[in-house]
Chains A and B, each alone.
Chain A
Amino acid sequence: MRDKATTLYIGPQHPGITGNMMVKVQVEGDTIIKARTEVGYLHRAFEKLQERRNWLQSFTLLCRFCVPEPDPVEESYARAVEMLEGREVPERAKYIRVLMLELARMGSYLLWYGGQNGSLGLYTMGQWSVGDRNYILDLFEELTGGRIYHMYIWPGGVRRDLPEGFTDKVLRTMDYFEKRLKDYDDLMFTNTIFQKRTQGVGVISKEKAVEWGVVGPVLRGCGIKSDIRIDDPYEIYDQLDFEVPTAEGGDIWARALVRRAEIRQSIRIIRQVIEKMPSGEIYNKIPNPLKWALPKGDAYARTEATRGEIGMYIVSDGTVNPRRTHLRGAAYVHGVSLLEDLLVGENVADISAIMNSLGTCPPEIER
């Protein structure tokens, strides 16, 4: 039978609305018998460029590591720098950071709604959710000046305080989403096509998930309760009340259920943050960035992003430039060798749905 296999090249033009990468598959009929991922279309050598920049100049690159969710990368870098230097962050800034991170989580999930459904041919969902995401981007624009890339969370705190009336706008947006998410359920989760295309597809067993170092909603979709916000809390997550949703099955459907529940938890967190937010300083000023040398040493800070663990490992040799910065991305683990393994035995039409459900983000794999 092997000699009847055909080789197909999926990509490199955004296979499944994730970014440029290629999946080379051998198929028999429409069943995949071998898959190989090929990356290299987006490498920008950000980490090498950062070696020539000072600690603050890196921020223009950091937000571009992964387009759908730039904020967790900024936050983990800023926190790693603070760890290394021993810089305190004002309490209010921590609350604003969490507000920002959760809004970013919602924005990223809304984009995922579009990508996941688009990969199955259900385009209406994407038009709704990407349209609704604009309400979150509007908030970002008012707060930071940028819709997608913010460069707002930086070492020592955040760049500016909340504008007047901003929290009311956030609360109104949350009210809107609480109502609106019901429409999403009607269109997506009760949709027979979505159920049939996702249940039992791209299954990861519990054992395999641990062995492969799977993280985030993909791990929680295997029934394992793991969330950095709870396990290794940062900022003020330990003072907040929220749940870590899990689902059984390890398939695309289970991962979708986890994400569906998480977007509701984000709304819950945002409401608490606004209620509890103290007044006060938002920024512990750093010295002149051109002369700002960090002490010798290294630090690793990690954040729970929508795709899982995102971390930043930084090394300083005591000068004004980093010796090394290295991003730990969830897609790096999910999107290369795990994907190759997972695709074997699946239908060729499900490739992009599986890629989307894993949170594959090629710009993060290559950086």
Chain B
Amino acid sequence: MKELKENIIQRLKTNFADAVAGSEFSYNRVDVHVKKETIPSILFYLKEEMGYVHLSHISCVDWLEEGEFELVFIVWSPVDKVKVFVKTRLDRENPVLENIDMIWRQANTYEREFREMFGIQFTGLVAPDEFILEDWQGPPPFRRDFDTAEYAKKTFWNRPGREDAQDVRETISGRDGEEIPDFAKKYSR
């Protein structure tokens, strides 16, 4: 397995000058870091030339502190029985990547989600504007700097009598004149 993994890295390094091997893993996994421009060609090469026919997963990670997004493409070869993690970094200010749904059709769904949730633009992506969100005006909500608690506070409100830090029993008792039962009194603030 070790030899096979080294071969994979060597082949990718020979064909793609910017390919850098990532950390080593004891199980059937190989990591390769590339520049974002190389993504379509390296994925196409892996699929067509090396037998990595199955796109297992695409994920996006927001490294807010470093000002970058990391995109991870996990591909699998049923022959080698190895997972290759192809990783690339995008500038957070202007995240643009080439669309790859002509290589694997299901990538289209992932790209639609990342466009909506992280604000990453995929050049050449043909898909309806909206995926999960509807009439969304705010910043992409899966970014780390999007404060969900703050958003909920601004957008929603408490029903009268259910405001935060308010004892519901006391409110009901004040409103309807119901007496608070003895067992509940000890919990009242």
Contacts and interface: CB of A to CB of B under 8 A. Distances in A.
Asked if A and B are interacting partners, one says yes
Interface of A: 36, 39-40, 43, 45, 47-49, 51, 83, 210-213, 226, 231-232, 297-298, 300, 302, 309, 311, 313, 315, 323-324, 326, 328, 332-333, 336-338, 366
Interface residues of B, number: 36
B59 A212 contact: no
A366 B132 contact: yes
16 contacts: A45-B142, A48-B141, A48-B148, A51-B144, A213-B54, A226-B78, A232-B81, A297-B23, A309-B56, A313-B74, A323-B61, A324-B59, A326-B57, A333-B106, A337-B106, A366-B132
A302 B56 contact: yes
A313 B132 contact: no
B55 interface: yes
Contact of A311 (B29, B57, B134): B57
Contacts of A297: 23
Interface in B48-79: 53-57, 59-62, 72, 74, 76, 78
| The 7 residue pairs across chains A and B that have the minimum distance between CB atoms | A328-B57, A213-B106, A326-B59, A333-B106, A40-B132, A324-B61, A336-B109
B81 to A, nearest CB: 6
Main secondary structure of the interface of A (DSSP, over half): mixed
B83 A300 contact: yes
A363 B98 CA distance: 29
Contact of B141 (A45, A315, A338): A45
Which of A36, A302, A324 has the most chain B CB atoms closer than 10 A to its own CB?
Answer: A324
A43 B74 CA distance: 24
B105 to A, nearest CB: 5
Residue in B29, B59, B72 with the greatest tally of chain A CB atoms within 10 Å:
B59
B74 A300 contact: yes
A49 B85 CA distance: 25
Given A39-B132, A297-B23, A300-B83, A313 B57 contact: yes
Interface string B130-147: 111110000001101000
A300 B57 contact: yes
A40 B134 CA distance: 8
B134 A213 contact: no
Contacts of A43: 132-133
Nearest to A312: B57
Contacts of A47: 142
Contacts of B61: 298, 315, 323-324
A337 B109 contact: yes
Contact of B56 (A83, A210, A328): A328
B181 interface: no
A321 B29 CA distance: 24
Nearest to A315: B61
B7 interface: no
A321 to B, nearest CB: 11
A208 to B, nearest CB: 9
B157 interface: no
Nearest to A225: B78
B38 to A, nearest CB: 20
Nearest to A323: B61
A299 to B, nearest CB: 9
A24 B53 CA distance: 31
B173 interface: no
A51 B147 CA distance: 12
A331 B88 CA distance: 26
Contacts of B131: 39-40
Given A210-B54, A337-B108, 11 more contacts: A39-B131, A48-B141, A211-B105, A232-B81, A232-B83, A311-B74, A313-B72, A324-B59, A326-B60, A332-B109, A337-B109
Contacts of A45: 141-142, 148
A40 B23 CA distance: 37
Contacts of B108: 337
Contacts of A323: 61
Contacts of B78: 226, 231
A126 to B, nearest CB: 30
Given A48-B141, A324-B61, A333 B132 contact: no
A212 B106 contact: yes
A2 B82 CA distance: 48
B109 A298 contact: no
